[in-house]
Amino acid sequence: MKAIGIDLGGTNIKVAVVHKKKGILEQTSVPTHAELGRVHLLDRIAATVNSLTQADGVIGIGFGLPGMVNLAQTTVFHPPNLPGWEQVNAAAEITKRTKLPCKIENDANVSALGCLYFGKGKKFDSFVMLTLGTGVGGAIIHNKKLFKGTMGMAGELGHVIIDYHGPLSNSVTRGTVEAYVGQRFLSRFATDMITQYPDNDLYKRFHGNFDKLEPVDLTLEAELGNKLAVEILQKTGQRLGYAIINYTHILDIRKYMLSGGVSKAGAWITDPAREIVQKHMMAPFQEGFELMVEDLGNDSALLGAAGLAFDSFG
């Protein structure tokens, strides 16, 4: 079974023919040029799809993009950085131009479908995916399907409160897990901690340039034995652990996948998260609990978009 995946990024549009078992068969990429407007961009995507040479027999198109998507997986609302896209039935626009059935989905859900069809999620019926990027995205797979809730927006897992007195994130909500674990906020927290220790190597390296501090710098320092770096990542993992308890007590889904930049810290954050889960999650929910890091590499969004087509038309 084959499908077409579209990954609409800020810089490039990537399009691929993906085989359900063999993975990517053909791939192409063109610059996005979102500033040229909605019609131009949709034409450009469709032309790229129509230029594929191995698309004969595909079951349809899966299209991953930023923004909130409706329950029918056709219409996107207010996608960031796409001028002229307030509310667009992008699936219909692509179908009109390609004569192929199309479904759309947001980045976090696409990432989970990639994991389900091509990654560690293949062996599970149900799991939760957390994308630890600039913000924290989430997606719920239940019985091998996306769980979308009543209006398509389920799985806003970054916006789950773990301390209602806590710091604001970008959203209207206080003390959400994103406000601790999202890359933007983790860097803020790390800067705050590091500023207290002028003798620490992290202070010496980043003093005056704390805006350049990335999670990978913390991981590298932790591996060199820097205890402050270890502590910062440990607290991050613990806070992730509290959020995971909330998801599990509500959903009774026991497999967790981490992806995105912050997840590259690996055991520096997953070990403390597991400790909190073991200590504070109710005993009947412990059985079968697993927390792992998923990394499908640069093509993960394309694979996920094709996964959406398999999910919808397969």
- Terminal Cα-to-Cα distance of the chain (whole angstroms): 8
Residue 240 in the binding site for a copy of itself (CB under 8 A): no
Structure tokens that stand for 293 in this block: 């890091």
Q: CB of residue 174 vs a copy of itself: minimum separation in angstroms?
A: 7
Report d(CA 301, CA 14) in Å as an integer. 9
Q: CB of residue 232 vs a copy of itself: minimum separation in angstroms?
A: 17
Which string of x and - marks every residue 250-289 that binds a copy of itself (by CB under 8 A)? xxxxx------------------------xxxxxxx-xx-
Contacts of 141 (CB under 8 A, 6+ apart): 112, 113, 115, 116, 121, 124, 125, 126, 127, 128, 129, 147
At 293, is the secondary structure helix, strand, or coil? strand
Contact range with a copy of itself by CB under 8 A, out of 10-18, 107-115, 163-171, 201-209: 163-171
Residue 174 in the binding site for a copy of itself (CB under 8 A): yes
Report d(CA 286, CA 64) in Å as an integer. 34
Residue 134 in the binding site for a copy of itself (CB under 8 A): no
Residue 249 in the binding site for a copy of itself (CB under 8 A): yes
Contact set for a copy of itself, span 67-96 (CB under 8 A): 68, 77
Residue 130 in the binding site for a copy of itself (CB under 8 A): no
Q: How many whole angstroms from its chain centre is CA 66?
A: 10
Report the residue from 101, 191, 246, 292 that binds a copy of itself according to the rule CB under 8 A: 246
Residue 235 in the binding site for a copy of itself (CB under 8 A): no
At 49, is the secondary structure helix, strand, or coil? helix
Q: Which residue has the tokens 């359900």?
A: 20
Nearer to a copy of itself, 51 or 171 (CB): 171
Report d(CA 132, CA 186) in Å as an integer. 10
Report d(CA 217, CA 243) in Å as an integer. 24
Report the residue from 163, 217, 271, 275 that binds a copy of itself according to the rule CB under 8 A: 163
Residue 145 in the binding site for a copy of itself (CB under 8 A): no
Distances from the Cα of 31 to the Cα of 8, 11, 14, 95, 264, angstroms: 10, 6, 9, 21, 28
Nearer to a copy of itself, 198 or 284 (CB): 284
Q: Which residues bind a copy of itself (CB under 8 A)?
A: 68, 77, 125-126, 140, 142, 148-157, 159-165, 171-175, 239, 242, 245-247, 249-254, 279-285, 287-288
